[in-house]
Structure 1
């Protein structure tokens, strides 16, 4: 169905190819994962499938890419719309209508599908993705996860033979992600749809896939069975890392397989001591009775929250539960229709943007909203100036999150993970006492998330409070001291991380599912075994 024949892609002003001599075939009805480090070239590989690379992105493509026997070089990307459905990393940037129902119908309108067929497909897709209640909602009023599901639905209605997905579950809560992946697997099994997807949260996807493509740092691509590939890759999900540590062969790809292997092995592990908490730590921010409304909808309902110095708090909950609205209200830039917020003796909403940033820094879900200059170097330099930081501070942070980004690169040309890393570096260069991160791990691979964990813990060690709104339970397991769970705008759980997630069916990380409480991370197991 998809063929790459000695494909090399080189972008303008780049001395090295983004992809180098890629030769592979993906058959009909296969579910294939494309993995690799942040910025390695996964999006380029996916974009070449329908000709967006190089027709839209520019650059030079050598070799041949074909879909169902048709070379992508022979016609523009729009003529592959009936054959290849594409969902990009940032769903909002791809929407062309105003409401959910209109967006689901749009692609079929362009293809001239009969109105009765369109109506039936829209209804089927609404039910398939669990978004029937959103049909008349404005797209810009949806949460990031809801937008992601609509984006997937908008291509499914056209019934493409090939589905290309770039980070399809990055903005979804664990339950919604499982639903979407189950839907994708059903398309492969029942309809014979060929699916190629890139996903950094490999733990969600690996149990479903037939093959794994791994994009190396030099642009080459290796292709093989998941268990074989994961034995040697530089990044791997926690369950595979646990299998490597235990010496299991073959490596387990699902929690069920790992639990069977660990049935006797886990008994010899000495549980980690409970994390120490500083009950005397001063408060850096206090919120009382915070209310946020959007028209008649109440997004945040009289929330009380106190943040302590040196504490990392994970803010969790299903899509649309009010997490982002609460963060914007705490920072001062977003609406607040009731209650009070105090940080350092000031209400951030009453300060100038520059003053508020030094008290409470916020990295939003769509990091590109804060990028406005022509190069990475210019963004970093501006971040240092605005933060009154030593020159090079922002760049040092950026290199820790996503190494290898060129100074002259345009911020809009970066991958979503690289954009987020750049904005995170800019915001952290101001050294605010309170740092709010909204889905900071979107687009980051496991090694980049490990660097982010070190940075967050270092910030907490200096007495700062960090709040991370996220669906990434594996990241939470390694970074958080405390977990606050929201539902329908209210706080329903506020507890230490192990108490909040270890026994939760929705939020438990893979290690906890395999070994039970209080184990949360592979690093804890490694320490217990005395392995460096």
Structure 2
């Protein structure tokens, strides 16, 4: 169904090809998972399938890409629209209508399908992805995760034979991600659809994959094969694979079920509980009775929260539970309908932008909104000047999070993960007393998330407080000292990370599921415990 024949892609002014020597065949009815480090060329590979590379992006494509027998060199994207459906990293950028129902119908209108067919497929997709309650909602009012589900649905309604998805679960809560992936699994097995997915949260997707293609980067050709063997040699393996390597399991398991069958002896060796983090310092952030209301919707309902110096707090909950509204209200520029907020003794809503950045920083779900200069070097230099920091401070932070990003590159030309790393570096430059982050790991591979966790942990150790809203349970396990769970705009759980996440199968990380009832959360914790014994 999809064939790459010695394909290389080189963008204008690039020093080296972003893809080189790609020979790949994905047969009909397979789910193929594409993995690799941030910036390794995953998005380029996916966009070559429907001809966006090079017809839209520019650059030079050498070799040949065939999709259902059509050569993408001679068939532009419009001539592949009936065969290939694409869901991009940023769903909002691809919307062309105003409401959920209209967006689901748009791709079918473009293909001139009869109205009865369109109506039937819209209803099927609404049920398949749990969107029925949102059908009349304006797209602009949806949460990031809800928008992502709409984008997936808009691609599915055209009934393409090939579906290409770039980070399809990055903004979804664990439950919604399982629903979307289960739907894709049914399409592959029941309808013979060919699905190509690039994803960093491999703990969610790997168990569904028929094969994995690893892009090593650096001009090296891809490595493809069965999920276990390929992930075992890749630096972006999910926790269950790394736990299997640590324990010496052969073959290396990809699913929780397979790992639990092998984990009995390891559980016995880990009889003692892991260490519990110490108490926080002075309270830096306090919210009392905080309320946020949009028209008839109560997004935040009387939330009271205190965060001390040195705390690393993760705010979790399903899409639309009020996490983003809470962060914006705490930062001072978002809507508040009631209650009070103090950060380091002042209400940030009363501060001007410059002083506010030194008190509380916020990285939003769409980090590109904070970038407005033409080069990475310009953004870093501007952050240094605005924060009163020594030249090179922001660039040093960026190198810690995503090494090798060129100074001359336009921020809009960076990968999603590189762009996020740049915004994080800009936000960290003024070293705010409280740092708020909304889905900070979208587009980041496992090594990049480990570096981010180390940077935020260092910030907390220096007496700052960090609060992040996230659906990334593996990052929470690695980073957070405390978890707050929201539902319907209210706090429904608040406590130490191990206590909260292990009590919920939805928010529990892979290691905890494999080693339950032992409360171990990360591979690093297990490695340290085994070394100590």
Paired residues for 1:114-513 under 5 Å: 114-219=114-219, 220-278=221-279, 281-513=281-513
Cα distance in 2, alignment partners of residues 60 and 315 from structure 1: 44
Cα distance in 2, alignment partners of residues 291 and 266 from structure 1: 44
Cα distance in 1, alignment partners of residues 430 and 82 from structure 2: 48
* Counterpart for residue 86 of structure 2: 86
Q: Any gaps of 5 or more consecutive residues in structure 2?
A: none
Cα distance in 1, alignment partners of residues 285 and 227 from structure 2: 46
Check whether the contact 1:270–1:528 (CA below 8 A) recurs between aligned residues.
no
Cα distance in 1, alignment partners of residues 33 and 425 from structure 2: 29
Deviation, 1:270, is 4.1
Cα distance in 2, alignment partners of residues 157 and 99 from structure 1: 15
Cα distance in 2, alignment partners of residues 272 and 115 from structure 1: 60
Check whether the contact 2:333–2:349 (CA below 8 A) recurs between aligned residues.
yes
Q: Deviations over 1:105-140 (max 9, x none)?
A: 000001000000000000000000001000010101
Cα distance in 2, alignment partners of residues 327 and 436 from structure 1: 7
Deviation, 1:503, is 2.8
Instruction: Please tell me whether residue 38 in structure 1 is matched to residue 38 in structure 2.
Output: yes
Cα distance in 2, alignment partners of residues 507 and 483 from structure 1: 10
Cα distance in 2, alignment partners of residues 23 and 145 from structure 1: 34
Q: Deviations over 1:232-276 (max 9, x none)?
A: 111200000000001111001111111110112210124344313
Cα distance in 2, alignment partners of residues 447 and 264 from structure 1: 28
Check whether the contact 1:271–1:519 (CA below 8 A) recurs between aligned residues.
no
Deviation, 1:222, is 1.1
Q: Deviations over 1:280-334 (max 9, x none)?
A: x111011111111111111000110111000000000000000000000000111
Secondary structure at the aligned position of 1:73 is classed as coil
Paired residues for 1:54-65 under 5 Å: 54-65=54-65
Cα distance in 2, alignment partners of residues 276 and 200 from structure 1: 28
Q: Deviations over 1:466-520 (max 9, x none)?
A: 0010000010001011000000000000111011001311111011001123101
Secondary structure at the aligned position of 1:437 is classed as strand
Cα distance in 1, alignment partners of residues 445 and 438 from structure 2: 17
Cα distance in 2, alignment partners of residues 398 and 81 from structure 1: 38
* Counterpart for residue 519 of structure 2: 518
Cα distance in 2, alignment partners of residues 422 and 272 from structure 1: 37
Please identify runs of 4+ aligned residues in structure 1 that moved more than 2 A: 270-274
Cα distance in 1, alignment partners of residues 168 and 371 from structure 2: 23
Q: Deviations over 1:338-359 (max 9, x none)?
A: 1111112211111111111111
Cα distance in 1, alignment partners of residues 444 and 374 from structure 2: 23
Secondary structure at the aligned position of 2:9 is classed as strand
Check whether the contact 1:271–1:528 (CA below 8 A) recurs between aligned residues.
no
Q: How many residues align?
A: 531
Cα distance in 2, alignment partners of residues 147 and 189 from structure 1: 26
Cα distance in 1, alignment partners of residues 189 and 181 from structure 2: 12
TM-score with structure 2 setting the length:
0.98
Check whether the contact 2:5–2:63 (CA below 8 A) recurs between aligned residues.
yes
Cα distance in 1, alignment partners of residues 253 and 407 from structure 2: 41
CA 1:73/1:263 → structure 2, altered by over 3 Å: closer, same or farther? same
* Counterpart for residue 15 of structure 2: 15
CA 1:432/1:8 → structure 2, altered by over 3 Å: closer, same or farther? same
Secondary structure at the aligned position of 2:452 is classed as helix
Q: Which moved more, 1:161-170 or 1:212-221?
A: 212-221
Deviation, 1:386, is 1.1
Alpha-carbon RMSD across the aligned residues, in angstroms, is 1.1
Deviation, 1:531, is 7.8
* Counterpart for residue 105 of structure 2: 105
Cα distance in 2, alignment partners of residues 432 and 166 from structure 1: 33
Q: Any gaps of 5 or more consecutive residues in structure 1?
A: none
Cα distance in 1, alignment partners of residues 139 and 388 from structure 2: 38
Q: Which moved more, 1:215-224 or 1:462-471?
A: 215-224
Cα distance in 2, alignment partners of residues 65 and 94 from structure 1: 24
Check whether the contact 2:438–2:470 (CA below 8 A) recurs between aligned residues.
yes
Q: Which moved more, 1:503-512 or 1:441-450?
A: 503-512
